[in-house]
Amino acid sequence: MTKIYAYAIRKDEEPYVHEWKEAHKDVDVDFTDQLLTPETAELAKGADGVVTYQQLDYKADTIEALDKLGIHNWSIRNVGIDNIDLKKAKELGFKITNVPVYSPDAIAEHAAIQAARVLRQDKVMDEKVAKHDLRWAPTIGREVRDQTVGVVGTGHIGQVFMRIMEGFGAKVIAYDIFKNPELEKKGYYVDDLDELYAKSDVISLHVPDTPENVHMINDDSIKKMKDGVVIVNVSRGPLVDTDAVVRGLDSGKVFGFVMDTYENEVGIFNSDFSNKDFPDKRLADLIARPNVLVTPHTAFYTTHAVRNMVIKAFDNNLKLIKGEKADTPVDLDKEF
């Protein structure tokens, strides 16, 4: 009987593992909440493939441990493959799949909700109400329909974000280094980032974290923006020079900041510091500000997205095992 072994299955993923198992009674599915390491590889003994998801590096020793067990079909439930020693995996004949798109709506919706909350000054009002201060002024909102929303990056997530903001009635403009023909026909694109910065009341980033994009939001770009701009980063922390945004917030140039991803988030986001010293002063300051909405890289974290990550990874793994073409293979020849 075909066997798939899954690592690092969280409680919120378990129902979807069971769902897949129910739908594939001819496959033996087993799982653990432990990460895949050279030591835990042994747990997969007898399996034809493994399914994993972790930030911890998959180094040569981990990959060799799977190889020793004769396991070469490997499906990750997330997008990123930068923590895998791909050279070793290729050398040992592994086939790898990832899940590059699991729910653009999850991330786009979060960006839209948070941007709207900043415009309405909801955090300020929530804090006032919690203290039983029920006065209106001076906590007045700005309506989304009155804003020009500039979208940087019109890929999977950026496009959904554009639709949602238009649903609110905003004027949407966009910039992408590769123009989408459909969007171009509809006249969304401005010529360059400077034009987008100059015209937008809300600027939302939906681009990847490539070396060219690091700190694309910095003192210079902020200078080019409108006074009272709202900056939204639910993409990747390194896209934003956080100190520059703090300076913008301090001067009043930046009205609000939505931050789901942070330059120094690794080891901090998805950890509990409620009874411990907080390790990052700048982050603590941002969290405390009434016009900054920090979330710990949870834009993706919805039942819909988590289900897709699990189901798509198992589907991919079974295809690899059967020698079929997986839906989203990682091209090991291209990666290095």
Ligand X SMILES: NC(=O)c1ccc[n+]([C@@H]2O[C@H](COP(=O)([O-])OP(=O)(O)OC[C@H]3O[C@@H](n4cnc5c(N)ncnc54)[C@H](O)[C@@H]3O)[C@@H](O)[C@H]2O)c1
Q: Binding residues for ligand X, per CB under 6 A?
A: 107, 152-158, 175-178, 206-209, 213, 234-236, 260-261, 297, 299-300
Q: Give CA–CA dist 85/70, Å, rounded.
A: 18
Phi, psi of 243, rounded to the nearest 5 degrees = -60, -40
Q: Specify whether the CB–CB gap between 127 and 156 falls below 8 A.
A: no
List % helix, strand, coil for the chain (3-state, nearest 5).
40, 15, 45
Closer to ligand X by Cβ: residue 77 or 297 = 297
Of the candidates 74, 82, 236, 226, the one whose C-alpha atom is nearest the C-alpha of residue 155 is 236
Q: Is 297 a catalytic residue?
A: yes
Cβ-proximal residue to ligand X, closest one = 155
* 247 a catalytic residue: no
Q: Least CB distance from residue 261 to ligand X, whole Å? A: 5
107 or 170: CB nearest ligand X: 107
Closest approach, Cβ 76 to ligand X, in A, equals 14
Q: Is 236 a catalytic residue?
A: yes
Write out the E strands in the chain.
Answer: 2-6, 27-31, 49-52, 73-76, 95-97, 148-152, 171-175, 202-205, 229-233, 254-259, 292-294
| Smallest gap from residue 302 Cβ to ligand X (A) | 10
Q: Shortest gap between Cβ of 220 and ligand X (angstroms)?
A: 15
For ligand X, the closer CB: 2 or 295: 295
The token duo for 295 is 């979330």
Catalytic choice (13, 109, 263, 265): 265
Enumerate residues 6+ apart whose C-beta is below 8 A from 45.
Answer: 69
The Cα 181–Cα 173 span in angstroms is: 15
Catalytic residue among 236, 247, 289, 307, which?
Answer: 236
Which residue number, 184 or 250, has a Cβ lying nearer to ligand X? 184
Find the catalytic residue in 110, 142, 297, 307.
297
Q: Which residues are catalytic?
A: 236, 265, 297
